[in-house]
């Protein structure tokens, strides 16, 4: 029987399965054993697996990342959690200089099986230092794999794949996805790293999206379908390595492309995808490409300012209509969804 | 000679042999560096050998060592392959990293040398993680990480001692205080009213200092520290004062450029770890001139052979540029 659980529950289940199957897996991060358990994603795991395998850490992000690298060199499989990507920036030295390069730099002798999970914040006044989406940074560093699941099914499957991978994997889970529900199989399974998913088939426009942007893209596709515009939505699932095969097949069919990211526009995922298409065959594109992303400024805190910081379904649907020489429906911007919280039930704080 | 005296002689001559081995390897690199066959930066350990030799003399083969940019001595003292190191410095396929690393990235897993990297203090947390793995696996292995006093100025130094102390990890932090970070003396970097060992103590880590140019003093202190870390857990912190004779990076002497006084260098040179050990052997009646000459010849031949091999060894195939990047 099909079972529906939330994205957060799916992540918790994945961690449970990994800890249960392999004694070398351990989970550490600020707050993993506290009463809130990283938005519910680590609840009960310390009780089940003990303080040796699931533990809270000092506020020492850089050293703890090095500790994870060192433990991984010795055959352990650490999973390190950061409640915001922004906090992990304190550990960029260990991630970029050490974790990413170790295997190559020492001639392929010692793998670094390490997963670093970072939560992407958004809205509710999170501001400049609690809401960055820096997947493009990590994807730019050779030696890192970067995954951004959008669905509960992929949240679990990519978590397990990331832990079982013999290389450093950056796992980015969006705070606004935690309460989203979906069908998730029981037990162990993994979703391959480096494979995109066609989330919706269509013929007129290819929309490539990641993480929470996939939900916005699917919402926009519904509205556009009512206008007779058929969108193909590709959920990248993995940012690096990038699955260009899936993107290219779709663009060959539609000839039109929009890329919707959760980060800032310049030098982002959209730039990379468009550049690769241009290298392979620019004639595939019949219309200018659309890049839906945050403007190149830090995220502001005030809901009044943040409202236009994050591209939404309405922005995407309107841009596509304009690209097709048609008029967008102004009603789209009057969507009932609140702008600074993931769903109407949310009462804060994060 | 009774058995104890025999053991004492063996230990003392082994320490001398290692000091001489490291000195002659580094001098050979310096002598040949101008030939431009070693096309990577080299940070030589000449003058500082006693710390590497003294500490590693008290480690088991399966104990682990990590280091930083000035790592030749640590790698060799732990038993790292000379051949693989010289091939690596020459950029050859049979180098310890297959030519990917160069002098600043040495590794010999079989010898227990887990790796060295040239970002100051960066291997401190990694070694701490290796020690955490040993604790998790229930091994009685000790991990040692070598670093300079400049590393104690990095945040990650404090984070690493903090975590190792919190978890009581079987690790010995070994600081080689050679008084200079590149050209910057201590007084521009560290407050004068605070000693380095005090930093370890402030983290609840048992901390000690000793003369880093006296291989016997180093060995004695390291022996006690390693034993303690192995039997009752760590961490421990050791500071050894010593002095780098040559330039920070490269084969030359550079006192002429004016960042440190010639008299200071000459005073430290008087305290040469090799000469110090020779004196000790002579005073104990353990010195044997014929043995010393034989040893020189033996090391010279070994080093000569390793250089000849490194120079003749094939370079990596061009496709090795691309990988392996990921473990499959």
What's the CATH code of the domain at A319? 3.40.50.920
- Given an 8 Å threshold on Cβ–Cβ distance, is B156 in contact with A104? no
- Structure confidence at residue A347 as a pLDDT band (50, 70, 90): confident
Q: Which of A156, A183, A210 is the last residue of a domain?
A: A183
Q: Is residue B280 part of a domain?
A: yes
Same domain, yes or no: A317 and A231: yes
- Given an 8 Å threshold on Cβ–Cβ distance, is A70 in contact with B128? yes
pLDDT score at B198: 96
Where residue A126 sits, what CATH number does that domain have?
Answer: 3.40.50.970
Domain count, chain B: 1
The model's pLDDT over B117-175, given as tens digits with 9 standing for 90+, comes to 999 999 999 999 999 999 999 999 999 999 999 999 999 999 999 999 999 999 999 99
Domain count, chain A: 2
Same domain, yes or no: A16 and A136: yes
A75 touches chain B (CB under 8 A): yes
pLDDT score at B1: 56
Q: Give CA–CA dist B303/B141, Å, rounded.
A: 31
A23 touches chain B (CB under 8 A): no
pLDDT at residue B81 is higher than 80 = yes
Same domain, yes or no: A19 and A167: yes
Q: Report the residue of chain B nearest A55, measured CA to CA.
A: B167
Structure ipTM: 0.97
The model's pLDDT over A36-52, given as tens digits with 9 standing for 90+, comes to 999 999 999 999 999 99
Distance from CA of A86 to the nearest CA of B (A): 18
- Answer yes or no: A174 catalytic: no
Q: Is residue A347 part of a domain?
A: no
pLDDT score at A160: 98
Same domain, yes or no: A163 and A235: no
Residue tagged 């659980």 (tokens): A5
Same domain, yes or no: A157 and A226: no
The catalytic position among A82, A130, A174, A315 is A130
- Given an 8 Å threshold on Cβ–Cβ distance, is B125 in contact with A63? yes
Three-class secondary structure assignment of chain A: CCCEEEHHHHHHHHHHHHHHHCCCEEEEECCCCCCCHHHHCCCCHHHHHCCCCEECCCCCHHHHHHHHHHHHHCCCEEEEEECCHHHHHHHHHHHHHHHCCHHHHCCCCCCCCCEEEEEECCCCCCCCCCCCCCHHHHHHCCCCEEECCCCHHHHHHHHHHHHHCCCCEEEEEEHHHCCCEEECCCCCCCCCCCCCEEEECCCCEEEEECCHHHHHHHHHHHHHHHCCCCEEEEECCEEECCCHHHHHHHHHHHCCEEEEEEEECCCCHHHHHHHHHHHHCHHHCCCCCEEEEECCCCCCCCHHHHCCCCCCHHHHHHHHHHHCCCCCCHHHHHCCCCCCCCCCCCCCCC
Domain extent at residue B121: 3-312
In chain A, the percentage of residues whose pLDDT exceeds 70 is 99
pLDDT score at A338: 81
Closest CA to B276 of B204, B198, B203, B212: B212
A66 touches chain B (CB under 8 A): yes
Where residue B305 sits, what CATH number does that domain have?
Answer: 3.40.50.970
pLDDT score at A335: 74
pLDDT score at A340: 86
Domain extent at residue A69: 4-183
- Given an 8 Å threshold on Cβ–Cβ distance, is B132 in contact with A70? yes
Residue tagged 């022996």 (tokens): B223
B138 touches chain A (CB under 8 A): no
Pairing of strands A290-294, A257-264: parallel
- Answer yes or no: A130 catalytic: yes
A69 touches chain B (CB under 8 A): yes
Q: Is residue B325 part of a domain?
A: no
Distance from CA of B163 to the nearest CA of A (A): 7
In chain B, the percentage of residues whose pLDDT exceeds 70 is 99
Q: Is residue A247 part of a domain?
A: yes
Q: Using an 8 Å CB-CB cutoff, list chain B residues near A66.
A: 122-126, 128-129, 156, 160
Find the mean pLDDT for residues B250-276. 97
Same domain, yes or no: A176 and A202: no
- Given an 8 Å threshold on Cβ–Cβ distance, is A71 in contact with B136? yes
- Given an 8 Å threshold on Cβ–Cβ distance, is A73 in contact with B96? no
Q: Using an 8 Å CB-CB cutoff, list chain A residues near B100.
A: 104-107
pLDDT score at A346: 72
Q: Report the residue of chain A nearest B65, measured CA to CA.
A: A70
- Given an 8 Å threshold on Cβ–Cβ distance, is A70 in contact with B125? yes
Same domain, yes or no: A239 and A129: no
Find the mean pLDDT for residues B90-101. 98
Find the mean pLDDT for residues B16-25. 98
Q: Is residue A336 part of a domain?
A: no
Q: Is residue B112 part of a domain?
A: yes
- Structure confidence at residue A350 as a pLDDT band (50, 70, 90): low
A167 touches chain B (CB under 8 A): yes
Q: Is residue A189 part of a domain?
A: no
Same domain, yes or no: A58 and A166: yes
Same domain, yes or no: A228 and A286: yes
- Given an 8 Å threshold on Cβ–Cβ distance, is B326 in contact with A103? yes
A109 touches chain B (CB under 8 A): yes
Same domain, yes or no: A70 and A145: yes
A60 touches chain B (CB under 8 A): yes
Q: Is residue A155 part of a domain?
A: yes
Same domain, yes or no: A79 and A119: yes
Same domain, yes or no: A121 and A164: yes
Q: Is residue B323 part of a domain?
A: no
Compute the mean pLDDT over every residue in chain A, rounded to the nearest whole number: 96
pLDDT at residue A344 is higher than 80 = no
The model's pLDDT over B169-211, given as tens digits with 9 standing for 90+, comes to 999 999 999 999 999 999 999 999 999 999 999 999 999 999 9
pLDDT score at A336: 66
A194 touches chain B (CB under 8 A): no
- Given an 8 Å threshold on Cβ–Cβ distance, is A93 in contact with B122? yes
């Amino acid at each position: 029987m099909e079972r529906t659980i939330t994205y957060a529950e799916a992540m918790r289940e994945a961690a449970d399965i990994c800890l249960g199957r392999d004694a070398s897996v351990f989970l550490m991060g600020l707050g993993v054993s506290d009463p809130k358990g990283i938005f519910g994603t680590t609840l009960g795991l310390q009780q089940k697996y003990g303080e040796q395998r699931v533990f809270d850490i000092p506020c020492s992000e850089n050293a703890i990342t090095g500790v994870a690298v060192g433990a991984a060199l010795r055959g352990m499989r650490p999973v390190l959690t950061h409640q915001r990507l922004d906090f992990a920036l304190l550990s960029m030295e260990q991630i970029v200089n050490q974790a990413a390069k170790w295997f190559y730099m020492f001639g392929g002798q010692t793998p670094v099986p390490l997963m670093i999970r970072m939560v992407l914040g958004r809205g509710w006044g999170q501001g400049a230092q609690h809401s960055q989406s820096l997947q493009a940074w990590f994807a730019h560093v050779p030696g890192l794999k970067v995954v951004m699941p959008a669905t509960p099914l992929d949240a679990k499957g990519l978590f397990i794949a990331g832990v079982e991978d013999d290389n450093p994997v950056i796992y980015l889970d969006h705070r606004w996805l935690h309460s989203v529900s979906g069908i998730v199989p029981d037990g162990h399974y993994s979703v391959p790293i480096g494979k995109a998913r066609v989330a919706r088939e269509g013929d007129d426009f290819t929309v490539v999206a990641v993480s929470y942007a996939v939900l916005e893209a699917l919402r926009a596709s519904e509205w556009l379908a009512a206008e007779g515009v058929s969108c193909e939505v590709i959920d990248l699932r993995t940012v690096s390595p990038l699955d260009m095969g899936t993107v290219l097949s779709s663009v060959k069919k539609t000839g039109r492309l929009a890329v919707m990211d959760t980060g800032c526009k310049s030098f982002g995922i959209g730039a990379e995808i468009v550049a690769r298409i241009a290298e392979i065959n620019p004639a595939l594109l019949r219309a200018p490409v659309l890049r839906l992303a945050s403007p190149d400024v830090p995220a502001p805190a005030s809901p009044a300012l943040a409202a236009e910081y994050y591209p939404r379904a309405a922005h995407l649907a309107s841009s596509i209509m304009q690209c097709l020489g048609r008029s967008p429906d102004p009603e789209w911007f009057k969507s009932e969804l609140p702008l600074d919280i993931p769903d109407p039930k949310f009462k804060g704080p994060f | 000679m009774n058995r104890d005296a025999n053991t004492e002689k063996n230990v003392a001559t082994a320490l001398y042999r290692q000091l001489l081995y490291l000195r002659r390897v580094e001098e050979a690199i310096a002598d040949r560096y101008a030939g431009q066959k070693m096309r990577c930066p080299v940070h030589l350990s000449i003058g500082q050998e006693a710390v590497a030799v003294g500490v590693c003399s008290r480690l088991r083969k399966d104990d682990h060592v990590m280091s930083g940019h000035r790592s030749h001595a640590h790698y060799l003292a732990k038993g790292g392959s000379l051949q693989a190191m010289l091939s690596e410095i020459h950029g050859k396929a049979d180098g310890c990293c297959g030519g990917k690393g160069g002098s600043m990235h040495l590794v010999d897993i079989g010898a227990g040398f887990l790796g060295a990297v040239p970002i100051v203090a960066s291997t401190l947390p990694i070694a701490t993680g290796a020690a955490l793995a040993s604790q998790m696996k229930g091994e009685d292995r000790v991990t040692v990480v070598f670093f300079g006093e400049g590393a104690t100025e990095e945040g990650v130094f404090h984070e690493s001692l903090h975590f190792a102390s919190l978890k009581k990890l079987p690790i010995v932090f070994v600081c080689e205080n050679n008084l200079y970070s590149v050209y910057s003396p201590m007084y521009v970097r560290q407050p004068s009213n605070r000693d380095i060992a005090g930093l370890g103590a402030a983290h609840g880590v048992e901390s000690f200092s000793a003369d880093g140019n006296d291989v016997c003093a180093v060995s004695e202190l390291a022996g006690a520290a390693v034993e303690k870390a192995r039997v009752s857990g760590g961490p421990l912190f050791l500071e050894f004062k010593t002095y780098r004779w040559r330039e920070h990076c490269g084969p030359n002497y550079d006192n002429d450029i004016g960042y440190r006084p010639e008299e200071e260098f000459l005073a430290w040179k008087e305290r040469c770890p090799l000469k110090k050990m020779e004196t000790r052997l002579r005073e104990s009646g353990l010195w044997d001139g014929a043995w010393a000459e034989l040893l020189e010849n033996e090391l010279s031949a070994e080093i000569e052979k390793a250089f000849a091999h490194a120079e003749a060894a094939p370079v990596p195939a061009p496709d090795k540029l691309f990988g392996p990047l990921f473990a499959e």
